[in-house]
């Protein structure tokens, strides 16, 4: 069974952020597609039963892109800026 998760994230700033998210979330086993909507701060993840929402949101948090419902502290913001720079270099 395929599921599409809609996750509103914090710190989504640019195409570099989107590239990082697409690459890192796309690497998770069971994820078949990742769409990032920068203008809406939304990440859409299509996946099967091998991965669940918590795994996806945990990975986003580790990259510096917490779910918008979570507290967004300084460390998370620093991680997102670093992920953003890496994503820009990958474009």
pLDDT tens digit sequence for 1-60: 899 999 999 888 888 889 999 999 999 999 999 999 989 999 999 999 989 999 999 999
Structure tokens at 34: 């990742």
pLDDT at 73: 67
Single out the residue of 51, 67, 91, 69 nearest to residue 80, CA to CA. Answer: 67
């Amino acid at each position: 069974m395929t599921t599409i998760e809609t996750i509103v994230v914090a710190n989504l700033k640019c195409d570099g952020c989107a590239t990082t998210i697409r690459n890192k979330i796309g690497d998770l086993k069971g994820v078949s597609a990742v769409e990032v909507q920068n203008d809406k701060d939304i990440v859409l993840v299509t996946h099967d039963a091998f991965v669940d929402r918590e795994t996806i949101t945990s990975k986003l948090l580790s990259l510096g892109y917490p779910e918008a419902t979570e507290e967004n502290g300084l460390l998370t913001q620093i991680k997102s800026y670093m992920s953003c720079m890496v994503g820009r270099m990958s474009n």
